[in-house]
Amino acid sequence: MREKILETATDMFLNLGFKSVTMDDIATHMGISKKTIYTHYENKTQLVKACTQNLFCTVSKGIDQICALEQNPIEELYEIKKFAMYHLKDEKSSPQYQLQKYYPKIYDEMRNRQYNLMQECTIQNIKKGIELGIYRENLNVPFISRIYFSGVTSIKDDKLFPAHKFPKASLMDDYLEYHLRGIVTPEGRKILNSIIHSNHE
């Protein structure tokens, strides 16, 4: 039951927002009493924390599995993006905003973990791309990895990129293309153009 509550709550939080969804909403949706939820999770904050940690672990494991496939680094980034977008429900802006506003400690902790994961992953990706000759040799790797993280988090800001003007899925595609075009060699550009072309078909 604990896992079922976690799964349902995570889905509802991502779709409707961490503040918007109440314990009553979760209980009603599951057809159980609120008391049942409280036997597994002491309060809503504890449940929110469990949901964000569980989601982070799921995404983190998935990214590790994608990296283990040893694809070329450009394909790898597109696969990671696709996987993350699926698990984060197309990264709707409301849940992130509500988590930051109403659960700042949980938000900061998750952001730090996300930063560490993305740094490691992005640095490996860039180094591999340089070795394969599809990323430029003269890249400042620590700078590129940090600016990439900064961009990925900034495009989730609904004030900068309102969802009615910038649908999240195409926004992430645009940002990924922007990032890659700045670091690829002519050989890498051929691979990138091929992926973009196949995605549009």
The pTM assigned to this predicted structure is 0.86
**pLDDT level of residue 167 (50, 70, 90 thresholds):** confident
Would you call 131 helix, strand, or coil by DSSP?
helix
pLDDT (tens digit per residue) in 103-119 = 999 999 999 998 998 99
The pLDDT assigned to 70 comes to: 84
In contact, 141 and 127? CB cutoff 8 Å: yes
The pLDDT assigned to 92 comes to: 52
**pLDDT level of residue 75 (50, 70, 90 thresholds):** very high
Burial 134-152 (b: 16+ CB within 10 A, else e): bbeeebeeeebbbebbeeb
Please name each of the domains of the chain with its CATH number. 52-200 (1.10.357.10)
Burial class (CB in 10 A: 0-12, 13-18, 19+), 123: middle
Show Cβ contacts of residue 195 under 8 Å, excluding neighbours closer than 6 positions: 74, 75, 78
The pLDDT assigned to 201 comes to: 66
In contact, 106 and 99? CB cutoff 8 Å: yes
Answer whether residue 88 shows pLDDT above 80.
Answer: no
Cβ atoms within 10 Å, residue 89: 14
Q: Which two tokens stand for residue 115?
A: 């930063």
Nearest to 67 by CA among 114, 116, 117, 138: 117
pLDDT (tens digit per residue) in 91-101 = 454 677 788 88
Q: Which two tokens stand for residue 122?
A: 């992005």
In contact, 35 and 56? CB cutoff 8 Å: no
